[in-house]
């Protein structure tokens, strides 16, 4: 009887020690795992816009109180120094608001909010996220630990089983904005015990993606995914070069757009440029412009035609025949 009494504390300590070891290995993922890092580049390969995921992805994330991952992806990209990020998300609404204020004369004259100032996105990144629900493994892990170590493992089991999912799989696609060709496509995956992730989260921040276990799993999968994209690009520089060259050819062959605001002064590129009564070359010719003759854009555009006011006539002129 006395022997059994003396063995119980040792048995209890043994159970606690093993349980904590399992907890460290399966829950924190940092006992034996290597610390995660962001793949970097020597310099930016171009500009990139991160597109919002499709509605069903956003809905799935919202079930776990997770927002759109675009902000997190932008931080990964900026930290990697592989692309310069252009704003095409919610911040774009504020940018457009500033431009509207400028157009209506509400901003100071030296604000210089004219046209043709926004940087073009060379590439566009889209994302997708899938989850491995806890019913497929997470709750089972918790139950296994609890049954294996009895009451000593109950706390550990309940904590691990409380995670709503243990695995996330993501897909990132990078496409050339000019040629629409796919530049890179890679997948990423992360289980809550794959590798240490605390340092990266502290470096980039991320709101719900750093404060919840589910968020950390998705953030880690996206990091693994983005690193795979960068590795592909670094291993095959032609992926960017070839599409960029195609994009440049397409841009050279396309009609240059005249980014003009109402009231802008334009001039004719050629002599005897026709001014039509309607935005149609079959309509009546109401005037002609000499080479270099200036007109004012009055604010209406229809297809390839701009409505302009000249010295002698008002009418529609083909945009391709005018310059700033």
- Whether the pTM exceeds 0.75: the reply is no
Using CA atoms, how far apart are residues 188 and 37, in angstroms rounded to an integer? Answer: 14
Q: Strands across the sheet with 182-191, in order?
A: 84-85, 47-50, 123-133, 165-176, 182-191
Cα of 148 vs its chain's centroid, Å = 44
- Quickly count: other Cβ atoms within 10 Å of residue 317's Cβ: 24
**284: pLDDT strictly greater than 70:** yes
3-state secondary structure of 26: helix
Using CA atoms, how far apart are residues 53 and 68, in angstroms rounded to an integer? Answer: 7
In the chain, the DSSP E strands lie at 47-50, 84-85, 123-133, 165-176, 182-191, 265-268, 273-276, 285-289, 294-302, 305-309, 314-318, 322-323
What percent of the residues of the chain are helix, what percent strand, and what percent coil, each to the nearest 5?
A: 45, 25, 35
Task: Quickly state the pLDDT bin for 243 (edges 50, 70, 90).
Answer: low
Using CA atoms, how far apart are residues 324 and 116, in angstroms rounded to an integer? Answer: 11
**155: pLDDT strictly greater than 70:** no
In this predicted model, what pLDDT tens digit does every residue of 190-228 receive, in sequence order? Answer: 765 444 555 555 545 556 788 888 888 888 889 989 999
pLDDT score, position 277: 94
Tokens of 152: 């000593």
Please, what are the domains in the chain? Answer: 30-86+121-134+165-244 (no CATH), 265-323 (2.30.30.40)
- Nearest CA among 135, 94, 37, 293 for reference residue 308: 293
What is the chain's mean pLDDT, rounded? Answer: 73
As a whole number, mean pLDDT of residues 9-31 equals 42
- Nearest CA among 75, 74, 83, 71 for reference residue 41: 83
Dmax (CA) of the chain = 116
Tokens of 84: 């310069």
- Most confidently modeled of 71-80, 124-133, 259-268? 71-80
Task: Write down the residue that tokens 């991952």 correspond to.
Answer: 69
Tokens of 72: 């997190």
Q: DSSP letter string over 224-276?
A: HHHHHHHHHHHH-THHHHHHHHHHHHHHHHSPPP----TT-EEEESSSSEEEE
């Amino acid at each position: 009887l006395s022997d059994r009494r003396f063995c119980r504390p040792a048995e209890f300590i043994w159970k606690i020690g093993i349980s904590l070891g399992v907890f460290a290995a399966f829950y924190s993922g940092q006992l034996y795992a290597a610390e995660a890092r962001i793949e970097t580049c020597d310099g930016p390969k171009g500009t990139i816009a991160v597109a919002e995921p499709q509605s069903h992805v956003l809905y799935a994330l919202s079930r776990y109180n997770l927002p759109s991952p675009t902000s997190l992806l932008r931080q990964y990209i900026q930290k990697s120094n592989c692309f310069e990020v252009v704003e095409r998300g919610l911040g774009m609404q504020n940018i457009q608001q500033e431009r509207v204020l400028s157009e209506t004369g509400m901003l100071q004259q030296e604000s210089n909010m004219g046209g043709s100032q926004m940087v073009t996105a060379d590439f566009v990144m889209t994302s997708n996220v899938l989850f491995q629900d806890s019913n497929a493994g997470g709750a089972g892990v918790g139950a296994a630990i609890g049954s294996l170590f009895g009451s000593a493992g109950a706390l550990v089991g309940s904590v691990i089983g409380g995670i709503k999912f243990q695995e996330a799989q993501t897909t990132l696609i990078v496409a050339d904005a000019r040629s629409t060709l796919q530049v890179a496509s890679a997948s990423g995956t992360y289980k809550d015990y794959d590798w240490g992730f605390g340092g990266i989260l502290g470096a980039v921040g991320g709101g719900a993606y750093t404060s919840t276990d589910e968020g950390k799993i998705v953030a880690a999968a996206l990091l693994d995914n983005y690193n795979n994209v960068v590795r592909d690009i670094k291993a095959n520089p032609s992926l960017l070069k070839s599409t960029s060259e195609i994009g440049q050819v397409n841009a050279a062959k396309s009609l240059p757009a005249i980014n003009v605001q109402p009231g802008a002064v334009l001039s004719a590129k050629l002599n005897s440029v026709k001014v039509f009564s309607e935005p149609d070359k079959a309509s009546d010719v109401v005037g002609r412009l000499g080479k270099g003759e200036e007109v004012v854009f009055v604010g209406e555009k229809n297809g390839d035609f701009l409505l302009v006011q000249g010295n002698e006539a008002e009418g529609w002129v083909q945009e391709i025949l005018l310059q700033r």
